[in-house]
């Protein structure tokens, strides 16, 4: 037997068929037709029969003739689950599809738009950094003049970071750039890849939307997708198909393969603006999360950084800085460390609560944080977005960071929080 063979596993109670993933000393793993893996203790397996020897399916490039009556969309591939298939050597999924293979898998896209496709990177999103954001932005600018919109296929783990980064980098953008991912790999029957891509192309083809957005499943079913704001959207579940939600705001539109329903009117429209690239520079930005039993050394470690994001408690993004008894002596040291650091570099407060706005005027701790120069008061930015914004400002407007951090530049700060988020 070898990985990929179709086998039947005979146990004392049943016979189960699937593709062999791995056969080790004590365990055998097969992939069922449903896409799920099943593991057996070899001591409980009577025998294994090969039903069909695995033969790799060689895919031919899929060429589609352009239609004059359709808009043209460029799909830039960066890898991730949306561009993944099963690896019978490792038992998991690996980036493997070329752009042509992805088009071959989802031919229905060609009936909505003329599709162009190019591979930028074939990588997992957790391996991305600021240099990759710059690379993707440059690739977008190469094509933006010659197409009606761009889709960036992306791994979901850091899709929100990249969306925020592109919204800041692409200054003056007046065409749609949608980031699209998939929670289930394209080889699985429950994959959301095709539906997300189809809704994204539909939205570009039939709307006047002209900024960076995210297009992902609205529910667990293949009914609707949402087009969500780049700087206000977060992945809130590890595996559900409706993992992405808008925080402190609303989606721009609900999309099906047949319809588009706008939920907001305050979005950038398609125009003839010229995109200017405001790229990231090699800045060092730290991120420190408040937790019980903190030590001042944790703050001091960032003394050589260019900026620091604080993810604090509650409404004020509070940190443990108050000495109230003999057991909180370290809190005074934390306060002094923050005071020294905030004079040296921009230090920005956000909150761990996800929903709501930072208000440092409510409690004395917040007022003390303001007094030593910590930024972020009245902002409702996601910590991820605040991190990206701080790094981008340090890269492009280092002398104005303290003023611009609290200004709404790309929809990252809500003027008002609607009733459901109060």
Catalytic residue, chosen from 105, 175, 235, 389, is 235
The active-site residue out of 148, 157, 289, 353 is 157
In our burial notation (b when 16+ CB lie closer than 10 A, e otherwise), range 258-277 reads eebeeeeeebbebeeeebee
Active site residue 157: yes
Q: Are the CB atoms for 115 and 218 separated by under 8 Å?
A: no
* Known catalytic membership, residue 351: no
Tokens of 148: 């009606």
Q: How far apart are CA 298 and CA 294, in angstroms?
A: 7
Which residue in the list 78, 93, 153, 156 is annotated as catalytic? 156
Residues whose CB is less than 8 angstroms from the CB of residue 389 and which lie 6 or more positions away in sequence, other chains included: 164, 168, 231, 381, 405, 409, 412
Q: Could you give the CA distance from residue 155 to residue 195 in angstroms, rounded to a whole number?
A: 16
Q: Give the count of beta carbons closer than 10 Å to the beta carbon of residue 138.
A: 13
Q: Helix, strand or coil for residue 349?
A: strand
> Among the options 5, 31, 81, 233, which is catalytic?
81
Whether 385 is catalytic: no
Rounded to whole angstroms, how far apart are CA atoms 200 and 179?
A: 9
Annotate 409-419 with b (16+ C-beta within 10 A) or e (fewer).
ebbbbbeeeee
The catalytic residue positions are 81, 156-157, 235
């Amino acid at each position: 037997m070898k990985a990929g063979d179709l086998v039947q596993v005979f146990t004392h109670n049943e016979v189960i068929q699937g593709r062999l993933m791995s056969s080790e000393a004590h365990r055998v793993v097969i992939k069922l037709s449903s896409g799920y893996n099943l593991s057996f203790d070899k001591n409980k397996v009577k025998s294994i029969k090969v039903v069909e020897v695995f033969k790799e399916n060689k895919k031919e490039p899929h060429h589609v003739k352009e239609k004059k009556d359709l808009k043209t969309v460029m799909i830039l591939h960066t890898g991730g689950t949306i561009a993944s298939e099963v690896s019978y050597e490792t038992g998991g999924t690996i980036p493997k599809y070329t752009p042509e293979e992805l088009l071959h898998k989802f031919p229905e896209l060609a009936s909505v738009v003329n599709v162009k496709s190019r591979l930028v990177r074939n990588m997992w999103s957790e391996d991305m950094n600021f240099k990759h954001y710059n690379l993707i932005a440059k690739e977008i600018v190469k094509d933006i003049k010659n197409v009606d919109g761009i889709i960036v296929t992306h791994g979901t783990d850091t899709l929100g970071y990249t969306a925020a980064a592109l919204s800041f980098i692409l200054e003056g953008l007046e065409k749609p750039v949608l980031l699209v991912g998939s929670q289930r790999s394209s080889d699985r029957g429950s994959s959301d890849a095709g539906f997300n891509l189809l809704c994204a192309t539909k939205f570009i083809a039939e709307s006047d939307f002209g900024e960076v957005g995210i297009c992902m499943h609205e529910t667990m079913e293949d009914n609707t997708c949402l087009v969500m704001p780049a700087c206000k959207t977060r992945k809130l579940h590890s595996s559900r198909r409706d993992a992405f939600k808008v925080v402190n705001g609303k989606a721009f539109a609900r999309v099906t393969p047949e319809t588009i329903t706008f939920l907001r009117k305050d979005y950038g429209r398609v125009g003839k603006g010229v995109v200017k690239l405001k790229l990231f520079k090699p800045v060092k930005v730290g991120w420190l999360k408040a937790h019980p039993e903190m030590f001042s050394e944790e703050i001091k470690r960032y003394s050589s950084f260019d900026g620091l994001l604080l993810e604090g408690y509650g409404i004020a993004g509070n940190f443990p800085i108050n000495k109230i008894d003999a057991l909180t002596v370290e809190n005074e040291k934390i306060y002094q460390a923050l005071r020294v650091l905030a004079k040296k570099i921009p230090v920005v407060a956000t909150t761990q609560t996800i929903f709501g706005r930072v208000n440092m005027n409510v409690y004395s701790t917040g007022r003390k944080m303001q007094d030593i120069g910590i930024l972020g008061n009245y902002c409702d930015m996601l910590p991820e977005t605040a991190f990206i914004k701080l790094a981008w400002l340090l890269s492009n407007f280092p002398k104005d960071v303290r003023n611009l951090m609290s200004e709404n530049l790309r929809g990252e700060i809500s003027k008002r929080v609607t009733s459901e988020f109060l």
